[in-house]
Amino acid sequence: MQIPRTMRAIEITEPGEPEVLVIGTRAVPPLGAGDLLIRVAAAGVNRADVMQRRGSYPPPPGASDVVGLEVSGTVAAVGEAVSGWRVDDAVCALLAGGGYAEYCAVPAPLCLPVPGGIDVVDAAALPEVVLTVWTNVFERGRLTAGETLLVHGGSSGIGTMAIQLARAFGSRVFVTAGSAEKCAACEALGADRAVNYRETDFVEAVREAARDGGVDVILDMVGRDYLQRNLDLLNVDGRLVIIALMSGATAEVNLATLMRRRLLVTGSTLRARTVEQKAAVVDAVRKRVWPLFETGRVRPVIHQRLRLAQAAEAHRVMEASTHIGKLLLVT
């Protein structure tokens, strides 16, 4: 198929509400020697996209200003320095930006084959979520078989993937979620206990459910409001991994809690890492996680598939937090 000179892409007219997302026309991005040009089938929607639309999370230097951190599709062209990929291969990829478009150019080390048994559209739900869970829960959080994990936002794209991966690698999983429906969905995915944080104190509920009264690792997207309670819930040598700051970035903490139980507080972002740093995570995921998709043991949870032109509606759903799993924009 011939590659056009221009493509449809979602543009942000100005920072603001979802209606600032409009369809525009852009040049198809140039193909670098180390890149794949992907004909996009679908793009995953992430909360970082909402933050970028509002003006609070600009793309890193050199990245496309088009929103979108993960895509799936087929290879349209292969850079001259790239081996192992051919035109028309099914692919999904992690981006620093540019996903809400019909084409995107991506460094080849950040691309993964679509796992067998996964639809090419649904594969757009994988890169950002799987890499985020892997690098934070298993690399920074060092979760191992037999340990316990607490995930805040268990019904989110990240949460639904964290539940499945933690269970697949032999850990018990507790989650928080904001409704009975979401809690039921999390438990159906394998969570040992899902706590409706709107009705129940998650600290007491998880202590009651955990055999030893606490958890070993917490994956947190809330930030300030949960910090001290998270620390209170960790076992000795526990690890708190913070990946978002939905309630704020500054908080007071009782340092004696950290010292007495030898706790580790860490956090990370994925988007701002170098290509080489991201590629190392991609390689680990390909080896350790991709086989779980191939066997059907782990699956993406898709809440809704919308058309690319419905990006504003997808953001409204994301901000309303009514979804369970991932939102996708299909080109």
Of the chain, the percentage scoring pLDDT greater than 70 comes to 100
Whether the pLDDT of residue 225 is over 90: the answer is: no
Amino acid 224: pLDDT = 85
Work out the pLDDT band at 252, boundaries 50, 70, 90: confident
Over range 65-91, report the average pLDDT: 98
Contacts of 212 (CB under 8 A, 6+ apart): 148, 235
pLDDT at 82 over 90: yes
**Domain range 6-125+295-330, CATH class:** alpha beta
- The domain locations on the chain are 6-125+295-330, 130-267
Quote the pLDDT of residue 247.
75
Residue 136's CB is within 10 A of a number of other CB atoms, namely 25
Contact 31, 77 (CB under 8 A): yes
Q: Give the residue-averaged pLDDT of 304-311.
A: 99
How many angstroms separate the CA atoms of 159 and 219, rounded? Answer: 9
The confidence band for 222, taking pLDDT boundaries of 50, 70 and 90, is confident
Phi, psi of 151, deg, nearest 5:
-115, 120
Show the beta-strand stretches assigned E in the chain: 6-12, 21-27, 35-45, 70-78, 90-94, 103-107, 111-113, 148-152, 172-177, 193-196, 215-220, 234-242, 264-267, 302-307, 326-330
CATH of 130-267, picked from 3.40.50.880, 3.20.20.150, 1.10.3720.10, 3.40.50.720, is 3.40.50.720
